[in-house]
């Protein structure tokens, strides 16, 4: 059974470390934003294409096999950095802010159209 929680934590930490949004990662990897969101939030645990995981790994500056290895239970040699919990929380908050901002923009755009 794949360990999608490990993938979620690793992605969140790395995105915070690199100051990347879900949209940034999706664009760099050439995958759908929903795919990044699902993996980062562990929303829909299901089998993922090795090609998708490889593209996301590279977008995050890792070797192609990093996320697939994590999903298979291999923690690799990734060191634990001081303040990881704070970094993870900061990354989560940044992501939520970006998502809320996008929602406000969409609401404002819909309001402009209905005038």
What mean pLDDT is reported for the chain?
87
Tokens of 71: 């999903």
pLDDT confidence bin for 9, thresholds 50/70/90: very high
Closest CA to 99 of 18, 29, 41: 41
Closest CA to 22 of 43, 11, 36, 35: 36
CATH topology of domain 4-113: 434 Repressor (Amino-terminal Domain) (1.10.260)
Rounded-to-integer distance, Cα 95 and Cα 89, Å: 10
Q: What is the pLDDT of residues 56-74, one digit of tens each?
A: 999 999 999 999 999 998 8
Chain Cα centroid distance, residue 109? 26
Q: Where are the domains of the chain?
A: 4-113
Q: What is the pLDDT of residues 21-36, one digit of tens each?
A: 999 999 999 999 999 9
Q: Are 81 and 16 in contact (CB under 8 A)?
A: no
């Amino acid at each position: 059974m794949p360990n999608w929680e490990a993938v979620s934590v690793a992605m969140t930490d790395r995105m915070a470390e690199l100051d990347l949004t879900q949209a940034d990662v999706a664009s760099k990897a050439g995958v759908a934003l929903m795919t990044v969101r699902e993996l980062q939030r562990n929303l829909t645990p299901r089998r993922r294409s090795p090609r998708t995981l490889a593209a996301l790994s590279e977008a995050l500056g890792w070797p192609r096999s990093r996320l697939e290895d994590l999903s298979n239970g291999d923690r690799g040699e990734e060191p634990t950095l001081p303040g990881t919990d704070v970094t993870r929380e900061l990354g989560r908050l940044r992501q939520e802010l970006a998502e809320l901002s996008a929602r406000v923009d969409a609401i404002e755009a819909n309001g402009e159209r209905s005038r």
